[in-house]
Chain A
Amino acid sequence: MKTFKIILILIVTTISIQGIAQEPIRLAGEELFGTMRARHIGPAVMSGRITDLAGHPTNSKIIYAGTAGGGIWKSSDGGVMFNSIFDDYNQSIGTIAIDPSDPDHIIWAGTGETWTRNSISPGDGLYKSIDGGTNWKKVGFAESDHISSIQINPNNSNEVYVGILGPLWGDSDKRGVYKTTDGGEIWEQLLAGNLSTGCSDLIMDPNNPDILYAAFWEFRRTAWSFNSGGKNSALYKSNDGGKNWNKIHNGFPEGVLGRFAFAVAPTNSNILYGVVESEDRSKCGLYRSENAGESWIHLNKDFELAVRPFYFSRIVIDPRDENVVVKCGLFGSISRDGGKTFKNLGPQHPDIHDIWFDINNSDIIFSGTDGGVYQSFNGTATFDMVDNLPLSQFYFVSVDNEEPYNVYGGLQDNGSWYGPSSSPGGVEAGDWKPIGGGDGFRAFRHPTKNIIYSEIYNGEGIYRYDLDKNIINTIQPFPEEGDPKFRYNWNTALQLSPNKPDRVYVGNQFLFRSEDMGNNWEKVSPDLSTNDLNKQGQTNSGGISVDNSGAEMNTTIYCITESPLDENLIWVGTDDGNVQITMDAGKNWTNVVSNIPDLPANTWCNHIEASNFNKGTAYAVFDGHYSNDNNPYVYKTTDFGKTWKSIATSDIENFARHIKEDYVNENILYLGTETGLYITIDGGISWVKFTNNMPSASVHYIALHPKKHDLVLATHGRGIIIIDDISPLREINQEILQKKAHFFESTPTVIWEQGSFGGNSTFTQFVGRNPNRNAKIIYYLKKRHTFGKMTIEIFNSNGELVGKADPGKKKGINIVHWDYIMKPPVVAKGKTYSRGGFSTLQLPADNYKLVMKKGKEVYESNIELIYDPNSSISLEDRKLKFDLSKKLFDLTQDLAYLVYEIDVITEYVNNIDFGNDKSSKVAKSLTSELTELKKTLVITTGDNYVQAADPELREKIGNLYSVVVGNSGKPSNTHYKNFKMHNSAFEAAIVKYDVLKKKQFSKIEKFVEKNELPSVTMKSFEEFLKQ
């Protein structure tokens, strides 16, 4: 029966393949991108926002960190090293919970951060792992956006409660407290919120799983405002597993309340701490209950206790002492007297969101901050930063033309930085240089000068940093007589011209242009926003706690693009949904947004990309999530905005943030979305998500290096991610996709001749990976290679086999790295190793032939190696180097053969039974002299460390060989003289060996012949080399 099934499968598979043979091939994900892989360069030097910490209840080595935009990271060694365990899923984490009764296996993760600043990312549901975080499965709440809490009955793994805070930007009827009794299959709503009030925290009494506390918070953001608080904000308690709930406000202030923080003491269930946000500012702050919530006493309204409740509503109680309480906050504070008084936590990155006490030692404390995870080993006096969490939250990225090129960008609460795309030993923390403080955003290198532009929020500082002179000037335009108040976006529009190196644009509600690097400014537009006064009340934003940080500034210019084909053609997009175009350098402006079909009014224009191919062509990306609309809005115009066509498809799963047009193939577009990178190779007819080592992180901005063809992504939570050399995508077409295999055209590889002594990072620091410097053999496979042999061999232009490469077998594009080195010489066998003998010589520049054998099929292509055209080494010098290297290579192998011959003869002679024949004396003399000769040729004693013997001829030749092949340029006279000396020594050894062979071994041979013994078996030199 099984045989029948298999046959039937084969038949229908054949039918299926025949049926689709003529259809266009659409490849998804790694089917298209094959072995093209994203490369993460961090940095981790400033890390990024941690939203939640959770530790194993009985194993102090296991700690989980949930992050704002970088997924979940797990440490299995007490916080020394963390590994990412949630790459394939939504990277915004609200909460993590470990099942107390099965903590090695069952982990729950609620996505969607709940520290509701303007820039947070929504989640997409609740996830569960039953293998300690290796595999995850979504178990519901896909529309929850932000999950605040998960509580698990310590006596029953299947009984789980979840608090759904719900969407930040709009109404939702999904908010509330839910319960499952079957491990997550079915959920019952126990306590509903309302359209704007969700569960901001849910806590189970650690000593009684039937007692639950739930905080509900009324809140709402718009693009231009924030509201915290309302009559529906409340703290509830249930004593019966969530069936019935009662408000527990006895002692809390009357009137409108906001967000609560609260905690139950693990050592005493009657002790509760609550932090209350109240419209009565005198009643904000910390409350304590000593009767499990029946009544509360107001203890403290210190700044740290009342600060920004939407961002810092968490208090954590020492698991061993109910009088030790930590309040998360701007700097965080700790009380050791039951909440009466507090002092700041030790120095660390500000904005502390969660605390974890070690399960065995309260002096060991972890904190989760806007700048990563910190650890204190002395009860909060000092904190150390964890150095291997590359969670940096970039808003923007640009590149320069240095070699290697640098990347520039600004980050949430971590300033602006630039760093190299590669560096000796990898891209290390020390490679990154700060170029701005505060929250950083856009940053550029001047196209021709050693000058950097950067900025902080709301245009409060736009900087021009002269790196040569170490001079920083603040250059943003200020209002003049008659101007209204300037409205700069939190992420202020700052842009350079692709046509004029000294030209800079800045946008508030007006567009400003400077032709002298920001020294002087010209206003070149009217107010380009809607100037809707209803969206300009930021001084009152925040709800019951005013929060006028500037993050809600609206009706501003958000993006500026000067066409690379026409300096007078400028596009401007605003955060209130205008798309403005001028074709006369700002004299006249036209708002063309009404020409865009199916775009909701006033949708934030995130980016306009002016085409490199046609003046009238541009792409626009709109972000609707500020209106609770997560649809992608991606449009293209080919007639200067008169008409637009949507190029967003159902392939794209979330809202879009940025688009980049390829420089070479206009059908290739790169789309940054809230949950990853998408690429189209057909002008937007279909999109494919790039997932090869690319997490589902929010991609805020994309740069494409014009010379290296590297795609550089600013992720908001996983740092800078680079996809090296995307040029193979430019060749993909249906004709290629229909082939079984296809070699892509490759540009000549510049032979890498640089060296370094590496970096200086410690083992626990994150180091960004460098690009692979090897030659790239790039081909497409229609199907994964699984059965039969597959090889790649490389031949030089003389037809000689010079190398092999390990082929990639993936369906799709395969990039195989070939190290273009000569096989090392065969080295004489000694007691120890000749280190120099492991050295390898780079192959010379040549046009090499590639032969790929795949089963019985053979495919051929070429790959060219060239010398760096900027190298100071002449071809003559290269030839001198190669010639001496080759001589040393040959000498090494000749010596190896001589030692082999000595060994064979010695062993042969030693195994002959001479009896009383006089030949035995000859044999003894011969083997003795051969042994002595060998001792001069290779090391025969000692070890590979400090008991090493003095170097013999093998080691001396190997040493010279390694120096000559490792050096750049021609050998020096000392190398030639040294070679001559070794060559002479070798020739002398040969003479000696020949003499011994002729005079003594010939006598042995006669004895052998006379006694009809087997003659010696000696491999030829060629056979010996093949071994």
Chain B
Amino acid sequence: MKRITLLLAFSLICLFVSAQSADEIIENYFENTGGTEAWNNITGLRYNASVNAPIGEIPLVMYNGKDGSSFVKMTLQGNEIIQIAFDGETAWGMNMMSMQAEKKDSEITENLKRAIKEFPDPFLNYKEKGFSVELLENETIEGSECFKIKLTKMPTLVDGEEVENVTYYYFDTENFVPILVEAEIKSGPAKGNIAQTFFSDYQEVDGLYFSFSFTQGLKGQPSQTITIKSVEINPEIDKSSLIFPEG
């Protein structure tokens, strides 16, 4: 009898799991992490984080705004280093040798502009953004069965050419949150490798759920974890600090 019950239960699970469409999975994801309305109300996100490096724990602050403004800032020996800042028009960062601000190349800037609409989550209103999704076969990731969704965003520029911008998301079938994102690296010495980011430690912040642990690396190679200490929703940001300091 127990066996029959189990089989029935398993069949029901399979039925529901297999019945999921990409849109249902995305809808469930937003519902399970705070609701679409709450996600739509986000205008800015600041992550206070740290990363363990051979030189010790490095504090990081990362910010993304709806208007495209963003920065990544780390602190070393009391000095704040802007790794990248973007005010919606110009992207720049500090040279570690000269400690001076330098503009990023035009391709990075253009790609940042194209990525503005991804905020706060590329799946949010993805159709309006011109993105497309495709549900692929389920895969097991880190022991969890996952829905695999191919997300195609607006093309990016790589070495002067428009290139398809595809990312693969793996949503845990149990709770519909992504636990892995993969994308092929399109330029630089790691070109052709697959970049992976694993997500875990989802925690609630003002009614929304965010991953508090990102583990990043190339597929098949060692990775590094960014640990989120806190997430601030719609924080006050001095946007003048994101403007490239001329002279």
Contacts and interface: CB of A to CB of B under 8 A. Distances in A.
For chain B, which range describes its interface: under 10, 10 to 19, 20 to 34, or 35 or more residues? 35 or more
A833 B77 contact: yes
A944 B6 contact: no
Contact of A13 (B13, B77, B203): B13
Contacts, number: 155
Contacts of A757: none
Contacts of B52: 804-806
A12 B9 contact: yes
Contacts of B220: 87, 693
A12 B14 CA distance: 11
B200 A790 contact: yes
A5 B225 CA distance: 35
A6 B76 CA distance: 47
Interface in B37-91: 52, 54-57, 76-79
A786 B144 contact: yes
Contacts of B200: 784-786, 790, 809
A834 B77 contact: yes
B75 to A, nearest CB: 9
B77 A76 contact: no
A809 B77 contact: no
Contacts of B175: 786-787
A828 B55 CA distance: 15
A837 B76 CA distance: 10
A585 B232 CA distance: 76
A812 B140 CA distance: 13
A181 interface: no
A401 B19 CA distance: 56
Interface residues of A, number: 68
A922 B31 CA distance: 64
Contact of A832 (B99, B189, B203): B99
B240 interface: no
A786 B191 contact: no
A763 interface: yes
Given A131-B166, A786-B172, A823-B57, A16 B10 contact: yes
Interface string B21-32: 000100110010
B76 A833 contact: yes
Contacts of A805: 52
A113 to B, nearest CB: 23
Contact of B56 (A135, A789, A840): A840
B78 A827 contact: yes
A1027 to B, nearest CB: 9
B106 interface: no
Contact of B13 (A9, A82, A819): A9
A74 interface: yes
A666 interface: no
Contacts of A513: none
Interface string A805-835: 1100111100000010101100111111110
Contacts of A758: none
Contacts of B5: 15, 19
B239 interface: no
B48 to A, nearest CB: 13
Interface in A111-137: 131-132, 134-135
Given A785-B200, A789-B203, A804-B52, A81 B76 contact: no
Interface string B99-128: 110000000000000000000000000000
Nearest to A790: B201
Interface in A49-87: 74-77, 81-83, 87
A809 B142 contact: yes
Interface in A420-465: none
Contacts of A787: 175, 201-203
B136 interface: yes
A13 B173 CA distance: 12
Interface string A487-499: 0000000000000
A811 B144 contact: yes
A76 B24 CA distance: 36
A824 B55 contact: yes
A804 B58 CA distance: 13
Contact of B142 (A30, A823, A945): A30
Contacts of B166: 131, 134
Contacts of B191: 76-77, 81
Nearest to A5: B16
B192 A74 contact: yes
Given A134-B194, A840-B54, A829 B78 contact: yes
A819 B52 CA distance: 10
A824 B78 CA distance: 13
B192 A838 contact: no
Nearest to B31: A2
Contact of A19 (B6, B55, B79, B177): B6
A20 B28 CA distance: 27
A784 B143 contact: yes
Contacts of A6: 28
Contacts of B12: 8-9, 12
A951 interface: no
A831 B99 CA distance: 9
B2 A763 contact: no
Contacts of A77: 191-192
B179 interface: yes
Nearest to A132: B184
A76 B192 contact: yes
A15 B142 contact: no
Interface string A931-969: 000000000000111010000000000000000000000
A809 B198 contact: yes
Interface string A1-36: 010011011001101100110000001011100100
Nearest to A900: B78
Contacts of A806: 52, 213, 215, 225, 227
Interface in B118-175: 136, 140, 142-144, 150, 164, 166, 168, 172, 174-175
Interface string B188-207: 01011110001111110000
Contacts of A76: 191-192
Contacts of A34: 143
A829 B76 CA distance: 9
A944 B194 contact: no
Contacts of B177: 786
A783 interface: yes
B77 A829 contact: yes
Given A789-B212, A819-B54, A828-B78, A810 B143 contact: yes
Contacts of A8: 12, 16
A104 interface: yes
A788 interface: yes
Contacts of B194: 134
Nearest to B148: A135
A8 B221 CA distance: 40
A31 B16 contact: no
A896 B222 CA distance: 34
Interface string A739-772: 0000000000000000000000001000001001
A83 B190 CA distance: 9
Nearest to A839: B55
Given A2-B31, A787-B202, A789-B203, 19 more contacts: A2-B24, A5-B16, A16-B13, A19-B5, A74-B192, A87-B220, A131-B150, A134-B194, A784-B144, A785-B200, A787-B203, A788-B201, A790-B213, A805-B52, A811-B144, A823-B57, A828-B78, A831-B99, A943-B97
10 contacts: A2-B24, A19-B2, A34-B143, A77-B192, A786-B172, A786-B179, A786-B200, A809-B200, A833-B76, A837-B77
Interface of B: 2, 5-6, 9-10, 12-13, 16, 24, 27-28, 31, 52, 54-57, 76-79, 96-100, 136, 140, 142-144, 150, 164, 166, 168, 172, 174-175, 177, 179, 184, 189, 191-194, 198-203, 212-213, 215, 220-222, 225, 227
The 9 A-B residue pairs with the shortest CB-CB distance in the complex, in nearest-first order: A811-B143, A829-B78, A806-B225, A83-B192, A838-B55, A945-B97, A810-B142, A12-B9, A824-B56
